[in-house]
Amino acid sequence: MSSNSSDFSANESTLLDRANAVCEYIRSKLPDDLARTRVAVICGSGLNGLADALNGNVRFEFKFSELPYFPVPTVDGHVGKLVFGYFGKVPAVAMVGRVHFYEGNPIDTTAFPVRVFSVFGIKTLIVTNAAGGLNSNYKAGDLVVINDHINFPGLAGWHPLRGANDPYFGPRFLALSDAYDLDLRQRFFAAVAAANAKHKLNRTVHEGVYAFVAGPTYETRAESRMLKVLGADAVGMSTVPEIIVARHSGIRILAISLITNEVVAEPTPSVAAVAAGDGNHEDISAGKATHEEVIEAAHLASEDLRSLVYQTISGLE
Ligand code: HPA
């Protein structure tokens, strides 16, 4: 079996061994200042541009495929690499690309990079993603600072901390009621206010609840209504396993969703309603989500998000 396989079952090394192996490889190639990196950023779909904010002349890049045990994305065009550099004076690593549960990975594998971050000494993690807007006040292009989540796969047993617990990383039973760090959220909103004072940001920033679903299908109308009733403001297929694994090791979290589409939650027009109606209901595909629109919206917002994350991080110690 290749050492880069994400199937750990045939491998007798422990999670800590595997995370250590990646850290040793990376450290052996990094200068001392970057080996002391304490801030990591995960760039979501279409948000790879965040890595470009790392100062250019001191960047070090590692492809996922060269890192032992690191899971490699299978989605076309999703590169996978770690980029080390500086946000202002703060050393940071940006993870470009991630693997998802819907690709067939075990749920804990999707969060393996965060185990690596933890062993590496990362203390602050900024996670970004593309998400569907459930809250009717949300528009495509808006940003959402996540302040809570609903872990659907986790509640059903697909949980990244399921199985033997290694106390090196954290406790068996982990509270998540304080998962979304208040200070980091305040810093992000301060960066938004500063950007608005300088030039109009032209982007609404909300705070809300993210529902993690397995994907890869976008939600049905009935599923979207259910998520809204349950209190979710945005929905997506990533991030929550990473957040849980980070919190397991006491890493503080800032998580930002870019709303790429507004989910369709009105009941499907019935045959009778269409027959009796004004013709507005006949196109039942109106508003349906597409991967292309998700990527396009993310690209458009990438620059704003990049400068807000840059401001947030460069103000850290
Ligand atoms: N649902 C789930 N995941 C998503 C969506 C969505 O509507 N948009 C972007 N990621």
Q: Where do the domains of the chain lie? A: 5-314
Measured CA to CA, the distance from residue 64 to residue 75 in angstroms comes to: 14
Residues with CB under 6 A from ligand 1: 130-132, 218-219, 235-237, 260-261, 263, 289, 294
Query: What does the pLDDT read at residue 282?
Result: 65
Catalytic residues: 45, 78, 100, 102-103, 130, 237-238, 261, 291
Question: Going by CA atoms, what residue is nearest to atom 7 of ligand 1?
Answer: 132
Give pLDDT tens digits along the chain (317 positions).
344 444 444 457 999 999 999 999 999 999 998 999 999 999 987 777 778 777 756 679 999 999 999 999 886 656 799 999 988 888 999 999 899 999 999 999 999 999 999 999 999 999 999 999 999 999 999 999 999 999 999 999 999 999 999 999 999 999 999 999 999 999 999 999 998 888 878 889 999 999 999 999 999 999 999 999 999 999 999 999 999 999 999 999 999 999 999 999 988 888 888 888 766 666 777 778 777 777 777 777 788 888 898 889 888 86
Q: How far apart are CA 42 and CA 297, in angstroms?
A: 18
* Cβ contact 115:168 at 8 Å: no
pLDDT, residue 8, reads 46
For residue 290, report the distance from its CA to the centre of ligand 1, in Å.
9
Single pTM value for the model: 0.90
Domain 5-314 classified CATH 2.60.40.1730?
A: no
